[in-house]
Amino acid sequence: MTMKSASFLSHGDLKDFLMRLAREVQIWVPTLDVSFPHVVTFKPFQEGMEPDFQRLPVKSAKNVLFPQVEELLRFRLDKESCEFSPQTTFVEDTKEIQPTVLFGCRPCDARGFLVFDRSFLQGPFVDPVYKARREKNIVVSMVCSGPDSACFCGGVGSHPADTEGSDVQMIPINEGYVLHALTDKGQAFLEGIGNTATASQTQEAHHVREKARRSTEHVNSLTERAESFSKRFSDMAFWRFQTHRCLSCGVCTFVCPTCYCFTITDETHGFQGERLRSWDSCMFFHFTLEASGHNPRPFKAERFRNRIGHKFSYFPEKYGRFACCGCGRCLRHCPVAMDIRAIVWAMGETEEAHD
**pLDDT one-digit tens code per residue, 120-178:** 999 899 999 999 999 999 999 999 988 889 999 999 999 999 999 999 999 999 999 99
Q: What does the alpha-carbon distance between residue 76 and residue 38 come to, in Å, rounded to a whole number?
A: 44
In 149-259, where does DSSP find H-type helix?
184-191, 199-214, 223-226, 229-232, 236-242, 251-254
Could you tell me the CA-to-CA distances from 304 to 1, 196, 197, 236, 330 in Å, in that order? Answer: 39, 49, 48, 11, 13
pLDDT over 90 at 292, yes or no = yes
Q: Is the dihedral of CA 274, 280, 282, 284 positive or negative?
A: negative
3-state secondary structure of 185: helix
Cα–Cα distance for residue pair 267/264, rounded to 1 Å? 10
- Confidence (pLDDT) at 93: 78
Give the pLDDT confidence of 251-267 residue by residue, as tens digits.
999 999 999 999 999 99
Q: What is the mean pLDDT of the chain?
A: 92
Residue 351 pLDDT more than 60? no
Kindly give, in sequence order, each residue whose CB lies less than 8 Å from that of residue 78, ignoring residues fewer than 6 positions away. 87, 88, 89, 90, 271
Q: How far apart are CA 6 and CA 196, in angstroms?
A: 6
Helix (H) or strand (E) segment spanning residue 62: helix 62-65
Segment 82-107 mean pLDDT = 85
Share of the chain above pLDDT 70, in %: 95
CA-nearest of 253, 248, 344, 332 to 298 is: 248
Strand partners, 72: none
The predicted pLDDT at position 81 comes to: 61
Task: For residue range 295-345, list pLDDT tens digits in order.
Answer: 999 999 999 999 999 999 999 999 999 999 999 999 999 999 999 999 999
Contacts of 243 (CB under 8 A, 6+ apart): 300, 301, 304, 338
Cα–Cα distance, 18 to 50 (Å, whole number): 11
Residue 2 has pLDDT above 90, yes or no: no
Contact of 130 with 89, CB cutoff 8 Å: no
Is-contact 256 63, C-beta < 8 A? no
Q: What is the model's pLDDT at position 89?
A: 84
- State the distance between the two ends of the chain, measured CA to CA, in whole angstroms: 51
**pLDDT score for 256:** 97
Residue 34: per-residue pLDDT: 79
The enclosing H or E element of 263 equals strand 262-269
pLDDT digit string (tens) for 201-233? 999 999 999 999 998 888 888 988 898 999 999
Mean pLDDT of 67-78: 92
CA distance 58 to 102: 16
For helices 340-347 and 300-309, the axis angle rounded to 10 degrees is 80
23 pLDDT exceeds 80? Answer: yes
Q: How would residue 71 be classed by pLDDT, with cut points 50, 70 and 90?
A: very high
